[in-house]
Structure 1
């Protein structure tokens, strides 16, 4: 702590950006009003420094890794109660100041505050011992030197009007998950005011996904996740479901500064998906309703060989009680005496099937009116092996005429609906043994065209060759049933997407006698689902590209612009007061920022023109060796001490725009210096009818997962930084000149390399 007798107050500067700390530290030293005794790059480190130094004042940033300012503030005051804390943030106030003061801050200053008055403001805040801790410090008055404040704009948000007026919810979130700014759309989605959102952990609105949110933050901080996405319900808003996308905004060292969040209300979409699920459930229940039918097999003599749940429900007999008995058991005595049951079998055997309605008898002696269908079943050789019998209880239909008509209508609709299904029998070997109208409508074959042929006929050639049909029967025999969706082939050769269920059929002794197969054409549903999935993918891609563009453009612009303005003002006003090392440090920053800004501007303008197909090339005969030499010399000046070699053949003439070709080569050299390892070697030589320019470095090369999208717009690695436009521009400029740009992966003989191939000049 400062001692009596005129000692300057002590201060610790906490900010995760080294260049910001350097600028603030220099300003405070030149003011002569405060003594900077320590620095920290995050909240956790700040606690250690404060515990050791016990400063009079801490200038504390909001968004930092490990522990942000809002999380560190109460811990600093607990560690050193006599220390005053001033929050110093790049986020506009928007309720954040009130939150900071509630946590114990003495004041809240935005980083847009004039640095000329920063020391005076801090001393004035510190000098008033009676100032209540819940009072915000006065705003610094605007003075000359606005350019200087631009050095701090790396921590100020851009596109304010877009942010506030966006139709989707947007927020700025610290690396620890605290919301420090929110727009009106997000407030509407969460059912709270903007002020209520600021200073609150995002996890409080997503308690059902808290663990996933913590994992998302960890992945972004570690660089394992470039963009994170979270779906959750909204706490306090009934039935509200959202999808939140979090994209990190990086500093000049490619470290996350804070997170940019986009939140979309997907309640209606999830509701539609749930309705689709319920619709499918209703369909399944209709299928399960087959318990309304008694379905069983008869021997050629009329003995019952199998029994299902519907038969037990309708007739009252268990399987053990009825299997092996003659089916005449279900007929009234007068019908049995007339030989009618045997007559039914004779007609079914002669005509293939027999159908009637009549009285039948249950186990308890009660009668019911039944609809009965008996079908003769033959094996592959045409030998009669028995009958399939289907019975339905129609008793209620006879109770009342109106109920009868209604029942008939329901049955008719059910029968018509069954035409949507191909239902047929297979022998144990897979040969088609029966055929229904739904099967004819779906596959195009008439019964006499398909019965007796193997069911592999319905499969594409590649599946036939892999013996997939036989595999289906094996699975159905082992598990009892087999179900899948896949392509099938109609008689005319066209394909359709089908849902297929194959069930193994066994007789009363458990012997396998064949398979029952149900097929439904769901091509239209698949096409609709694919279209919906494609549309969702396009929407998601557009949203991701928009978020990426906003984040990287804000990051890439604010650092060089701010450093240029702030450094120039500082050098002009205090050249003689600065130490030599300070001047050198500031001049290096000035030069590198100007180069970075110029390159970014060139890339953005070129990418825009390429996108709109409005790139104007000044075509002339160009010496490629001279273009490469200029690019290498420029890179060497910007990176003194780095080995950059050129190996050039003479007379490499092409028809092209020298400036644009220079930009392409310059981008490749810069890419090698930024993402590779020295030495960098640039070669240019003839290769058949082309001129080939190669840029290679000694680094490990491009990772396999990045190679496919290496030349796409905005394609960046997880920790590479940049706009992702450089290689996209290289390829498009090469193609504009009739050539192309490619990447050659590393081999055992050498490292990877980028290549530009251009056709030789025609004159």
Structure 2
């Protein structure tokens, strides 16, 4: 499957395609994991389950590192997440274990996720099983590595390749030892530089190539010239190389120095300078030198203490012996030398291996070393063991996370308690005022009725009974409204996908009598198609808002407009009217329970409708507010999440 961008990039670049997120998530052939900001798995697709062998229920809320190589490595995992967040993406490869403990080679791509306010909210992780591809690469790598090591490790023979015209195209350490040229000095030069002036004049190099091409090989012993101009007696074998179409593609040339001469003073001086550049007795840092091909040529006391190897154990070996298997298969050691050679230095933190196989978290710095003539002569490598410090940092981070979680939980609890306390204070105020008022009225009329009975004043008795009944009914209505308001927070939300047109239509239909009686004009326009929420509570929300608009008129025919649109990933509703309006100082007060701005004989009601609207909106994780001016109508704005 061609996947040009990560899932996180896709959603960021094409927000209009957000509705297709679920389809992409389910049908993608690559394993997709969604992590929260702490690195715990919050979702995964079917491909992820197929690759790892775990069901989504097995993976839910687990740290992503638990489906790694079985070593539960939070330090490396945290480092990878930090690097992904810092660089905006990170691709790593390595062994992982399926649920049945089968090993597979995985390519894992991390991409950080951000919300609309650019706050980091998690990661999107793509995973592919590339075991078969990696095995093929590893086999090829092993074959090439065996040949390279075999040729490059030979110091007594100069072994190199020539193109068909006789130019040097490969070079080994033996070539440097025998001829005195570094690889960078000799590549692409004609091999005639090894011949004396008289041999060049006699056209001996050309004749040697011609003989080898005609007979297959050319052998001889004779004088050759080193870089410094000195002569040595050489045994030479020049062999013609042909491809599978029998076309000449070049020559191999093997030269052996038979004069048994010592190394030149220049090579000895470079070796001594490299040793002097090291502080061999430093115990807290592993400091050693590599040649240009990455083989260890010196070793200090700090390296022995950190890695556990003696100098005899490691001198002459390729420095990859300190790297985990995954890093070796990924070609990491050679890549680090390449970076150091190109930029002058390579630095990183990661796992390394001691002689006994145990791991330690290391800070490493590889620096390219050049001689006085600007030629690369090798690399210095400094290693520090940061395992203890990292473990302390990890423990501190975990402690900090637990503390933060506790603070968040306490903050939520405190907020909930504060909300409950405010409601209790409101309830107390209501009981002490709104509910006491009809009780006092009923009591007063009962006293009057008692007096009327004594006086046998039956006309006034009937009047007092009627007023007492009205006061009792008002108290009954107040208690019903208060109970209804208190129950909103207790009933669980039945979230479902709703057609907005049907929700608004049901709310208006419930008000048919009030609409007909008032002669109101209700206009519904520009509605979004769908929203997720509780049908009963959302119908009640819009029914209360429309009823409120019908009630607070200024004597003219009520005109109510309901519309909605998408706004930054949320849905915005507006219910507006042409009524009496609301003064600016009362825009917040109107949502308080039993808050009335007018006398009941002017605009009947109990002051509960808008308080219910506010609670319904807040339960749907939304926001409600009013915009108005006295005498100029009002508009109520609701902002709800789309899903």
Q: TM-score under structure 1 normalisation?
A: 0.26
Larger Rg: 2
Q: TM-score under structure 2 normalisation?
A: 0.30
